Chain A
Amino acid sequence: MSLFVLAIVLLGVAAVALLALAGLPPSIRVARLANVLGPGCVVAACGLGLAGVFSGPWELILQFSLSWGLPLGEFSLGLDPLTRLFLLPVFGLGAVCALSGGLSLRKTRPEEHNLAAHWFFYVLLVAGMAVVLAARDAVLFLIAWEVMSLAPFFLIDFDDSDRKVRDAAWIYLVAAHLGAVLLIAYFALLWQVGGSTDFAVLAAQEHSSYTSALFLLGLLGFGAKSGIAPMHVWMPEAYPAAPGHVAGLQSGAMINAGLYGILRGFDFLGQPVDAPLWWGWCILVLGLATALMGILKALAQSNLKRLLAYSSVENVGIMLVGIGAGVLGAASGHPWIATLGFAGMLFHMLNHSAFKGLLFLCAGEVQQATGTVAMNRLGGLQKRLPLVGGLFLLGAASIACLPPFNGFAGEFVLALSLLDGASLPTVELQLGLLLSLVILGLVSGLALAAYTKAYGITFLGDARSEAAQHPHAAGWRTLWPLLFPAAACVCGGLLAGRCFELVAPTAQIAAHLPPLAELSGARAVDEVGHILDIIAAVGGAVVLLTALLLFVRCRLLRRRPVECRETWGCGYQFGTPRIQYTEASYSEPLGRLFGSVMGLKITEKGGEGLFPGKASLTIAAPDRVRTSLFTPLFEAIERLCNALKIVQHGKIYLYILYILVTLVALLIWGMHA
């Protein structure tokens, strides 16, 4: 515990030092110092934090409390298995993104960007996330939540000379605060019911009639942070605007905080075993809808980072399916299904942090090298940026849920839980879980299409623009931090059995399921661990066989001619990179089927007359939820606020009159009360 507190203190000290640096006049020395101090302190603190997480037994529950000057709450931190598990991506990815960001920001001009301020907010974000996960008091939780929500606004706004970036940062800020408002209401209601802000007291309270309202408030409030549809609208705006390392940290670690909130909420609202079935259904259906919508929207994108952002929405949906299956299993008396559901969700959360962090960092490197992430301007990067390309390929294979990488292992545990749905008592539960598995199959098929598109169009073929033809290739010296998440992707697949043995007890404790030893007739954790070992062995066999086949091919081709020729073009020799298949044409067949969900906007201007001249075709995929739900909503609010302008004129004597009227009214009210 002391190591963890020390990590938080170190982050706090670093924040103060960076704030002082940020106030100095811009110079190269200050920028360099900030760019060393910031990542250095984050890495040191993350190392301390990880040591704190792993020191002592995993199941041990620790608490650290200080009183503070505020009238409410106290500074109370705690570590338990759930917190420890969620802290892993925060510290792991926090350090990796800091290193990668520090290396890619080396050549920033001090008059353009204030690096000290950037790293100040980065440190705040990491500290905020760590405190959110460890807070054991509602007031502290909300303060940390607010820090965690505010800091990314400044981080996203890094390139603030670009109008689009500023707009994206605003959209993020509004979305984050709408979620925060719901959470303030959630905790205020909890406080009213439970009479304390201490999590331990709140967890011990009796269930009240507010429970269902609290569940919905929590689901919406935490869901807004995680990007559950339809509250995902900020993600595809904020991530493309943010620098790669910020987007990686947000997508890999910050959105987990919302899922953590939903899981922690079961402490206060009643354990999954006693939860009403409709909670489970609600989460399951929401998860499936989010996953399907997310991956279809991802397929429609032509901007690599937007594609990754929508794929985060999809992955959050998959995690929600795990929670939904867990609640349904627990509520209908099948703790084994619940264990697998929650464990699958937690495992997938860890995996998602690894590969999504890796993919966003790679996308950031592509942007650095070519100046763009628009896929129709890229291509052929595998030969020019082989390291970035290879790492992106690894990440893409992992996220498309292909063995032997970690994505498959996580989804497999989740699928086992849905598969066991056949043993549930009622037909609708059985069919609900089995059909969820079928829909997950569709989602992963679409994910394969989306990631072949992301990698294939961006990195393969010929360069589609001058920028992609001559990128500024970065070497190992800049790219080595990316090896950590890449190694996590491989190890998570090959050592999936060990990961499961860590994750399953955490799921048990977090969801208050009966301990495994007491489960009647259930297969033990060992057996699933054993299955995951077989999967890893088969995956290893695939890798070895592939290597063997490549070796055989090399041997066969020795002393034989291997010619390098033009790509076959039906006899046409003068093809240009422009005739390659583009990202829009790649997803066209799926667009025909799911165009309405993908929200494709196709504008076609054909040439007129018998001898048509110039024609054009534009395919865009704006977010329909944003344009047809949130935009009208906020415009209506704006009109309402404008109507209130009658009372605001800028004349001071009238404002003094308002104060007088209010005072008199209060006096009259006070005399009557």
Chain B
Amino acid sequence: MSPLTAYLVQFVLALLLAPLLPGIINRVKAKFAGRHGKPLLQLYFDIFKLLRKGEVVSRSASFVLSLGPAVSLATALCALALLPLGGVTSPLAFQGDFLLAAYLLGLGRFAVILAALDTGSSFEGMGASREATFSALAEPVLFSCLLALACVGGALDLETHLSLSGMLGGRPGTEWLLGRSELLFVPVVLFVLLLVENCRIPVDDPNTHLELTMIHEVMILDHSGPNLAYILYGSALKLWFFAALPAGILVPDFPAWWAQALCWLATILLMAVLVGVVESVMARLRMYSVPRLLGGAGVLAALALILTQIR
């Protein structure tokens, strides 16, 4: 099978399986709480139900309200296409493509924040403000993680070592197995970033009933119908994106692409289980402690960067 076909298979797989991750998280949480829980495929049902519905839009809103969901879904799709899914180099890979991926997600966030502000609701303004703050702080942490990876074994192949495919395509996995233990900081930090960027506990509680304490959920209060379906699917893709980043570091290079792909898939699903466990055993942090969590993650990432540089 040619690499392009292998990549396309995995891309389609990611698109199909992404809504499964929230289902897994919810199931794990339910098991911890001793409940049976929602069906695993709940998000699929939700998305299809919403696509078949009409919409209610706010009287204050302009075209920006419906631009937000479409842009956020489009950017999540394009950012995902830059990842080396299952360790197969992305056909789009180029030097510094992680910047493009990060800023594409930024564009999606920009659109969702504006859509939230468009309704004129103070709840949604509150969510928008928190989202802007935390994502601004998360950006440098993500950059230092990826730079730490970029500096590993740069001499191996100059062409792509600065791209996501070079950073995550299995080489870091081989490297840390050979004893570069400082690289193991990176998946830890990336897991924290996963929690922050996807608004999971301990940063945000997607299931809370109180608008005042939410971040992401409160921003989309006024979205309904197909708009909400786009947002839900876009968030699922974003969750897949962030779960795939640690997979790229932990899974080493395998000779057969399907073996590596299976390992990736297993790691991504494991990440979802891990998120479920974290959500079950932790309470949400106070809003003002989140920057400390991010600061701690940033220091770890900077440490990993400095250690890889010094070696």
Interface, chain A (partner B; CB < 8 A): 379-380, 382-383, 386, 389, 393, 397, 400-403, 408, 412, 415-416, 419, 422-423, 427, 430-431, 434-435, 437-439, 441-442, 444-446, 448-449, 451-453, 455-457, 460-462, 523, 527, 530-531, 534-535, 538, 541-542, 545-546, 549-550, 552-553, 556-557, 560-570, 575, 577, 579-581, 585-590, 592-593
Q: Are A531 and B94 touching (Cβ within 8 A)?
A: yes
- Measured between beta carbons, the chain B residues less than 8 angstroms from A542 are 71, 74-75, 78, 104, 107
Given contacts A549-B70, A565-B59, contact A449 B136 (CB under 8 A): yes
Given contacts A461-B118, A535-B100, A549-B230, contact A438 B95 (CB under 8 A): no
Q: Which B residues between 86 and 105 are near A, CB-CB below 8 angstroms?
A: 92, 94-96, 99-100, 102-104
Interface, chain B (partner A; CB < 8 A): 51, 53-64, 66-67, 69-71, 73-75, 77-78, 81-82, 92, 94-96, 99-100, 102-104, 106-107, 109-110, 113-114, 117-126, 128-130, 132-133, 135-140, 142-144, 147, 150-151, 154, 162, 211, 221-222, 225-227, 230, 287-288, 291, 302, 305-306, 309-310
Pairs across A and B, CB under 8 Å, 21 listed: A389-B62, A416-B96, A423-B154, A431-B305, A431-B306, A441-B140, A445-B106, A452-B114, A460-B62, A531-B95, A538-B100, A545-B70, A545-B78, A546-B67, A549-B69, A549-B70, A556-B51, A561-B54, A564-B58, A575-B121, A581-B117
**Known contacts A452-B110, A546-B71; can you find 17 more A-B pairs with CB under 8 A?**
A408-B100, A416-B95, A419-B147, A439-B140, A441-B140, A442-B137, A444-B103, A445-B137, A445-B138, A445-B140, A542-B74, A542-B75, A567-B60, A581-B125, A581-B129, A589-B287, A593-B137
Given contacts A438-B147, A445-B140, A538-B78, contact A403 B109 (CB under 8 A): no
Q: Are A419 and B150 touching (Cβ within 8 A)?
A: yes
**6 A-B pairs closest in CB distance:** A581-B125, A445-B136, A461-B120, A456-B117, A545-B74, A445-B139
**In the complex, what distance in Å separates the CA atom of A364 from the CA atom of B230?**
36
Q: Are B113 and A456 touching (Cβ within 8 A)?
A: yes
A579 to chain B, nearest CB (A): 5
- Measured between beta carbons, the chain A residues less than 8 angstroms from B136 are 442, 445-446, 448-449, 590
- Measured between beta carbons, the chain B residues less than 8 angstroms from A581 are 117, 122, 124-126, 128-129
Q: Are B59 and A564 touching (Cβ within 8 A)?
A: yes
**In the complex, what distance in Å separates the CA atom of A520 from the CA atom of B58?**
60
Given contacts A564-B59, A567-B119, contact A589 B133 (CB under 8 A): yes
- Measured between beta carbons, the chain A residues less than 8 angstroms from B123 are 568-570
Given contacts A441-B139, A452-B132, A581-B128, contact A569 B96 (CB under 8 A): no
B58 contact from A442, A561, A566, Cβ within 8 A: A566
- Measured between beta carbons, the chain A residues less than 8 angstroms from B51 are 556
- Measured between beta carbons, the chain B residues less than 8 angstroms from A382 are 62-64, 118
Q: Are A545 and B129 touching (Cβ within 8 A)?
A: no
Given contacts A546-B70, A560-B53, A589-B133, contact A462 B140 (CB under 8 A): no
B72 to chain A, nearest CB (A): 9
A462 contact from B60, B70, B78, B106, Cβ within 8 A: B60
B54 contact from A389, A460, A563, A587, Cβ within 8 A: A563
Q: Are B78 and A541 touching (Cβ within 8 A)?
A: yes
- Measured between beta carbons, the chain A residues less than 8 angstroms from B144 are 434-435, 438
**In the complex, what distance in Å separates the CA atom of A455 from the CA atom of B73?**
21
Q: Are B226 and A556 touching (Cβ within 8 A)?
A: yes
**In the complex, what distance in Å separates the CA atom of A560 from the CA atom of B113?**
27
**In the complex, what distance in Å separates the CA atom of A457 from the CA atom of B82?**
33
**In the complex, what distance in Å separates the CA atom of A275 from the CA atom of B18?**
53
B235 to chain A, nearest CB (A): 15
A440 to chain B, nearest CB (A): 8
**In the complex, what distance in Å separates the CA atom of A523 from the CA atom of B94?**
13
- Measured between beta carbons, the chain B residues less than 8 angstroms from A451 are 110
- Measured between beta carbons, the chain A residues less than 8 angstroms from B302 are 435, 438
- Measured between beta carbons, the chain A residues less than 8 angstroms from B67 are 546, 550
Q: Are B221 and A587 touching (Cβ within 8 A)?
A: no
Q: Are B226 and A402 touching (Cβ within 8 A)?
A: no
**In the complex, what distance in Å separates the CA atom of A556 from the CA atom of B107?**
25
B227 contact from A379, A460, A531, A553, Cβ within 8 A: A553
- Measured between beta carbons, the chain B residues less than 8 angstroms from A408 are 100, 103
B116 to chain A, nearest CB (A): 8
Q: Are A570 and B154 touching (Cβ within 8 A)?
A: no
Determine which residue in B66, B118, B305 has the highest number of CB atoms from chain A within 10 A of its CB, and name it.
Answer: B118
Closest to A580 in B: B120
Q: Are A452 and B226 touching (Cβ within 8 A)?
A: no
Q: Are A442 and B129 touching (Cβ within 8 A)?
A: no
A359 to chain B, nearest CB (A): 15
Q: Are A445 and B135 touching (Cβ within 8 A)?
A: yes
Q: Are B226 and A545 touching (Cβ within 8 A)?
A: no
- Measured between beta carbons, the chain B residues less than 8 angstroms from A401 are 103, 106
Q: Are B59 and A566 touching (Cβ within 8 A)?
A: yes
Q: Are B64 and A460 touching (Cβ within 8 A)?
A: yes
Q: Are A419 and B103 touching (Cβ within 8 A)?
A: no
Q: Are A557 and B226 touching (Cβ within 8 A)?
A: yes
- Measured between beta carbons, the chain B residues less than 8 angstroms from A452 are 110, 113-114, 117, 128, 132
A531 to chain B, nearest CB (A): 5
Determine which residue in A557, A586, A589 has the highest number of CB atoms from chain B within 10 A of its CB, and name it.
Answer: A589
Q: Are A565 and B77 touching (Cβ within 8 A)?
A: no
Q: Are A553 and B99 touching (Cβ within 8 A)?
A: no
B308 to chain A, nearest CB (A): 9
Q: Are B110 and A402 touching (Cβ within 8 A)?
A: yes
Q: Are B135 and A448 touching (Cβ within 8 A)?
A: yes
- Measured between beta carbons, the chain A residues less than 8 angstroms from B77 are 545
Q: Are A430 and B104 touching (Cβ within 8 A)?
A: no
**In the complex, what distance in Å separates the CA atom of A460 from the CA atom of B120?**
7
- Measured between beta carbons, the chain A residues less than 8 angstroms from B64 are 382, 393, 460
Q: Are A449 and B222 touching (Cβ within 8 A)?
A: no
Q: Are A422 and B109 touching (Cβ within 8 A)?
A: no
- Measured between beta carbons, the chain B residues less than 8 angstroms from A593 are 133, 137, 291
- Measured between beta carbons, the chain A residues less than 8 angstroms from B106 are 400-402, 444-445, 448
- Measured between beta carbons, the chain B residues less than 8 angstroms from A589 are 129-130, 133, 287
**In the complex, what distance in Å separates the CA atom of A400 from the CA atom of B132?**
12
Q: Are A444 and B162 touching (Cβ within 8 A)?
A: no
A412 contact from B96, B110, B140, Cβ within 8 A: B96
Q: Are B110 and A448 touching (Cβ within 8 A)?
A: yes
- Measured between beta carbons, the chain A residues less than 8 angstroms from B75 are 542
A366 to chain B, nearest CB (A): 16
A570 contact from B128, B151, B211, B309, Cβ within 8 A: B211
Q: Are B70 and A460 touching (Cβ within 8 A)?
A: no
- Measured between beta carbons, the chain A residues less than 8 angstroms from B130 are 589
**In the complex, what distance in Å separates the CA atom of A457 from the CA atom of B122?**
11
A577 to chain B, nearest CB (A): 7
B227 to chain A, nearest CB (A): 7
**In the complex, what distance in Å separates the CA atom of A449 from the CA atom of B78?**
22
Q: Are A427 and B114 touching (Cβ within 8 A)?
A: no
**In the complex, what distance in Å separates the CA atom of A553 from the CA atom of B150?**
40
Q: Are A568 and B129 touching (Cβ within 8 A)?
A: no
Q: Are A412 and B54 touching (Cβ within 8 A)?
A: no
Given contacts A452-B117, A580-B122, contact A415 B96 (CB under 8 A): yes
- Measured between beta carbons, the chain A residues less than 8 angstroms from B53 are 560
- Measured between beta carbons, the chain A residues less than 8 angstroms from B61 are 567
**In the complex, what distance in Å separates the CA atom of A567 from the CA atom of B119?**
6
- Measured between beta carbons, the chain B residues less than 8 angstroms from A400 are 106, 110
Q: Are A568 and B100 touching (Cβ within 8 A)?
A: no
A397 contact from B92, B110, B226, Cβ within 8 A: B110
Given contacts A439-B140, A567-B60, contact A448 B119 (CB under 8 A): no
Q: Are B143 and A438 touching (Cβ within 8 A)?
A: yes
A566 to chain B, nearest CB (A): 6
Determine which residue in B92, B128, B132, B287 has the highest number of CB atoms from chain A within 10 A of its CB, and name it.
Answer: B132
Q: Are B107 and A567 touching (Cβ within 8 A)?
A: no
- Measured between beta carbons, the chain B residues less than 8 angstroms from A550 are 66-67, 70
Q: Are B211 and A448 touching (Cβ within 8 A)?
A: no
- Measured between beta carbons, the chain B residues less than 8 angstroms from A461 are 60, 117-120, 125
